[in-house]
């Protein structure tokens, strides 16, 4: 005879494969003894499985496996690129405030490798931002987009109290790097809502307008930027984000010397050519 629970060939009082009772075609719950009807998967009295619990196919677990693998790969990618970029930031040429210094900055071990454990979430996000902006400046669109998305996720893990105006400006530039001019414009509006003459807000708003193909708005923002710089806003106290991006602001406002310009030296005095007296 066949077991009514698992369908295996069976003899005697119980199925040798699943343990279900075979006598008189009736089954009883192994936990509470209640009678189980044919085809019943669970006991209606206590919920105990009526037969051996079927294992789910691997395909049912596949989404979780893929999610875990992707998360692990992202974490490894963050660690790898943070290691490569964990160097001190000086200036902001070409556009980021993040050119690497030569030598062995603080935070690196004797072998020159950065101490990742000593870096804060903000520092890690800034390193990824620097890399994304360098790739963007060099015209490597795919790499810029890759690092920009990684940097945006990194900034998402920075505590809210550490997201100062400089960090918000970085986030706006990252959105521009991935082609999201709308969000970049919204970030600029947030900066300008706090201070209508905020230089980084005007700079970001101008770039967002250019990306949105709105030349009139872009021209208006650059005029406001130039006026604010001329009024001394760049040297305003309490704005460390200005100094972190000073050369960028000066270039955007058109007050920086052109690249490659050589400072003019004063001409030597001319000789009068007169002979000495006799």
Backbone angles phi, psi at 100, to 5 degrees: -75, 140
The average pLDDT across 28-56 equals 69
pLDDT band per the 50, 70, 90 thresholds, residue 246: very high
| Per-residue pLDDT at 272 exceeds 50 | no
Q: For the chain, percent helix, then strand, then coil, each to nearest 5?
A: 50, 5, 45
Report the percent of the chain where pLDDT is more than 70: 62
pLDDT band per the 50, 70, 90 thresholds, residue 31: confident
The pLDDT of residue 80 is 59
Q: Which two tokens stand for residue 44?
A: 């209606």
The number of angstroms, rounded, from the C-alpha of 188 to the middle of its chain's C-alpha atoms is: 18
The pLDDT of residue 266 is 44
Q: Which residues, other chains included, contact 7 with Cβ-Cβ below 8 Å and sequence gap of 6+?
A: none
Across 78-111, b (16+ Cβ under 10 Å) vs e yields beebbeebbbebebbebbbbbebeeeeeeebeee
pLDDT tens profile 56-80:
565 666 777 777 777 777 766 666 5
pLDDT band per the 50, 70, 90 thresholds, residue 90: very low
Domain residue spans in the chain? Answer: 1-52, 74-104+113-253
The pLDDT of residue 35 is 75
**In the block, residue with structure tokens 């603080």:** 106
The pLDDT of residue 89 is 45
The pLDDT of residue 40 is 67
pLDDT band per the 50, 70, 90 thresholds, residue 2: low
Q: What is the pTM of this model?
A: 0.55
Task: Tell me how many helices (H) and strands (E) the chain has.
Answer: 9, 4
| Range in 73-87, 125-139, 160-174, 188-202 the model is least confident about | 73-87
* Fold topology of 74-104+113-253: 1.25.40
């Amino acid at each position: 005879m066949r077991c009514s629970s698992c369908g295996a060939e069976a003899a005697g009082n119980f199925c040798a494969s699943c343990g279900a009772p075979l006598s008189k075609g009736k089954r009883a719950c192994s936990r509470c003894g209640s009678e189980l009807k044919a085809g019943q998967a669970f006991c209606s009295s206590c919920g105990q499985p009526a037969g051996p619990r079927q294992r789910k196919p691997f395909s049912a677990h596949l989404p979780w496996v893929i999610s875990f693998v992707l998360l692990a790969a992202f974490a490894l990618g963050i660690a790898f690129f943070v290691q490569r970029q964990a160097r001190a930031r000086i200036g902001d040429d070409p556009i980021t405030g993040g050119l690497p210094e030569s030598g062995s900055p603080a935070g690196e071990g004797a072998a020159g490798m950065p101490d990742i454990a000593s870096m804060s979430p903000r520092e890690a996000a800034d390193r990824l931002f620097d890399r994304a902006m360098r790739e963007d400046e060099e015209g490597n669109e795919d790499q810029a987009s890759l690092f920009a998305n990684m940097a945006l996720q990194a900034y998402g893990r920075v505590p809210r109290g550490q997201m100062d105006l400089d960090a918000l400006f970085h986030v706006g530039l990252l959105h521009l790097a991935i082609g999201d001019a709308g969000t970049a414009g919204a970030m600029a509006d947030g900066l300008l809502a706090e201070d209508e003459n905020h230089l980084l807000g005007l700079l970001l708003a101008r770039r967002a307008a250019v990306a949105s193909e709105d030349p009139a708005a872009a021209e208006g923002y650059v005029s406001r930027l130039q006026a604010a710089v001329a009024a001394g806003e760049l040297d305003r106290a309490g704005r460390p984000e200005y100094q972190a991006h000073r050369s960028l602001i000066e270039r955007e406002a058109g007050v920086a010397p052109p690249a490659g310009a050589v400072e003019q030296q004063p001409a030597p005095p001319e000789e009068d050519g007169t002979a000495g007296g006799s």
